[in-house]
Amino acid sequence: MQTVIIAIHLIVVVGLVIVVLLQRSEGGALGVGGGGGFMTGRGQANALTRATAILATIFFLTSLGLTILANIGRQQKSIFEGVAPAGQTAPGAPTGGNVLDQLRQIEEQRAPTAPAAPAAPAAPEPPRQ
């Protein structure tokens, strides 16, 4: 059922684009200004306007139908279901502090602890005079 509505929806979308592009430009906003196209006269303009309205209505109806079909069988969930009780945090989540402190905690958890490198020998002191 959903596939049929999607096919109808796509056909309506293509038809709607074509009908809108066939309509005569009112103000020549792009400088192409109307001219004498193959669809001129008041009768054709009314037909295009009516076709646009019909296709737009079908577009909205198929959009609503697809939305309803997508939500059938979906269980409603509360936004509070995934929230931990006060005082508890998710495992591994940084606790407290500002963003920099949290980033440091995460970096410390990820970085393996390496043995400390031996200190470089101190330079000998120059002789005193």
What's the pLDDT at 16? 95
Instruction: Provide the pLDDT for residue 105.
Output: 84
Report pTM: 0.49
What confidence score (pLDDT) does residue 39 get?
54
Domain ranges of the chain: 42-72
Q: What is the pLDDT of residue 78?
A: 74
pLDDT tens, the chain, 129 aa long: 889 999 999 999 999 999 999 887 766 555 555 555 555 556 667 888 899 999 999 999 999 999 999 888 787 777 777 665 655 555 555 566 678 888 888 888 887 665 666 666 666 777 776
Helix (H) or strand (E) holding 11: helix 2-22
What was the pLDDT predicted at 87? 55
Asked whether the beta carbons of 48 and 55 are under 8 A apart, the reply is: no
Angle 116-121-126 from CA coordinates, rounded to 5°? 155
